[in-house]
Homo-oligomer: A and B are copies of this chain.
Amino acid sequence: MISLRVAIIQTEGCHCEIRKPANMLRHIQIHTIASRKAAVDLIQNGLVRGISQSLQCRRPEVELTSVRYPGVRRGNYAQLSDRHVQHFRSILPKERVITETEDVAGYNVDWLRMVRGVSQIVLKPKITEEVSAILEYCNAENLAVCPQGGNTGLVGGSVPVFDEVIISTSLMNSIVSLDELSGILVCQAGCILENLESYLSERGFMMPLDLGAKGTCQIGGNVSTNAGGIRLIRYGSLQGSVLGIEAVKADGEVIDCLSSLKKDNTGYHLKHLFIGSEGTLGIVTKVSIQCPPSPKAVNVAFLGLDSFDDILRTFTEARSGLGEILSSCEMMDLLSLDAATSNLKLQRPIGEFPFYMLIETSGSNGTHDEEKLTKFLETLMANGVVRDGTVASEPSRIKLMWNLREGITGGLLHDGYVYKYDISLPHNSFYAIIPELRTLLPADKVGRICGYGHVGDGNLHLNITTPKFDPDVLKIIEPFVFEWTSKLKGSVSAEHGIGFKKTQYIHFSKSQSSLNLMVNIKKLMDPKGILNPYKVLPAQH
């Protein structure tokens, strides 16, 4: 039994890969898989259930970003030369300066395989001082840089657009300290989220965030993108739980705000400039984070409902009746769940309903939690709000339920092309865009229009699929979705960030005065604009 990171699955004419196993797949033998069917079998027999969303057909080449987006022009940065490479080799040992095209290739492509850069070099620092030396040099030499963590982002933020020098934080993976009295963890940016979770769980603590990519994503990337995920309703955003940050500015200066205190009101709270700025203001090198104690009991209820109004009633009742033990409140419509059940052959635990909810409780007393959950469900089923439901408290059954929710993303890819939107909306307007789009889009062209997401946090994942990319369909969807969201004062990117792909839509959620201030802060902190260029801020700035 060994730890599996990537299993290559040979299929007809191309090859698929199962990437970054979710936490239920920590120990599995490597299988040689001869066909797509074998992969599906593997999923069905439960060995790799829940990670099937990562099953993708790898095309021989992903189109270059510079070709797919011809409107984006390379900035006036220096070209990498042998002299530069030699200098990097004076900062890092040879094996951490990667220049072989084949070895660099994987760092140039994003997880969704939608964007691809042409960087010729990957640098792998292990300590802050190396990051500092690299950036100081790149800034002096006017070399653009792309910081990369686990490369699990969904908006093209973590790969180069052109030939930016890639700085990978993957070897910066040491845990610095854990204060077992306060639960404050200090670690390097490259620690993988799931590894931190394992480390903490052995010591009675947990990470305050959890997301599908936990097996690959790094805490530095999580912090740089202000990652949300499924525990936000209970443990809040990273803006609240990150206590300190060490980051390196574009010019190599180390900004040490690595406070490991819950309270520190001494001057401007600079750490927030690095949380969510997606590596454009500095490279996060260390993080200090408040970790809550592990719950003693976890329960998951999977519910079937008739209408979105019933979802809102259930959410309100959950907040009141489950109160402080509510740790997730997720919704999915039938078509979303169907992407996991039909496309991935996962089993639906209850009958067919227009809507489903997954509600999780985490608490310090199993008996109390069970009582609260039972009463909550009895109330909702008695008054007909919840039509059917099932509850799990054993870890294996809980995983099966979460697999359904987390399998949707991957299941959708099986439809063909997916138009993905991640929007925040007020609760009472949360779902209205789905029926609206169903009237707008031509039924004969569109496979699926569905919505799921973190209803407790007002965050909808809106997905539309077509057999293959269809520019006519896209024209109907955009800018309609953004205008709709903007009209409701929603956010055009709730948790995925802006990255490369959404820079032209940021104004739908941000005022011009805010954008101007962002541009000025960028100029102040990175005057040459070498840090993750073409990302976050619109090009005209």
Interface residues, chain A, with chain B CB atoms under 8 Å away: 179, 181-182, 204, 225-226, 228, 232, 236-237, 239-241, 249, 253-257, 259-270, 272-273, 275-277, 281, 293, 295-296, 312, 315-316, 319-325, 362-365, 368, 371-372, 424-428, 454, 457-459, 489-498, 502, 506, 509-511, 513-515, 517-518, 520-521, 524-525, 536-537
Contact = CB atoms under 8 A, between A and B. Distances in A.
Given A323-B293, A506-B267, A521-B521, A262 B459 contact: yes
23 contacts: A182-B426, A239-B239, A239-B269, A239-B272, A249-B517, A254-B513, A257-B510, A261-B425, A261-B491, A262-B424, A263-B457, A264-B494, A265-B495, A265-B498, A266-B492, A266-B502, A267-B510, A267-B537, A270-B517, A320-B364, A323-B363, A323-B365, A368-B371
A489 B525 CA distance: 26
B510 A266 contact: yes
Contacts of A182: 426-427, 458
Contact of A372 (B322, B364, B371): B364
Contacts of A536: 267-268
Contacts of A296: 323
A267, A502, A511, A517: residue with the most chain B Cβ atoms closer than 10 Å = A267
A365 B257 CA distance: 40
Closest 3 pairs (CB-CB, A-B): A240-B240, A323-B364, A272-B272
Contacts of A490: 261
B427 A181 contact: yes
A521 B524 CA distance: 8
Given A312-B181, A368-B372, A513-B253, A363 B324 contact: yes
B524 A256 contact: no
A18 to B, nearest CB: 28
A228 B497 CA distance: 29
Contact of A321 (B267, B316, B364): B364
Contacts of A363: 323-324
Contact of A276 (B237, B269, B517): B269
Contacts of A368: 365, 368, 371-372
Contacts of A295: 323
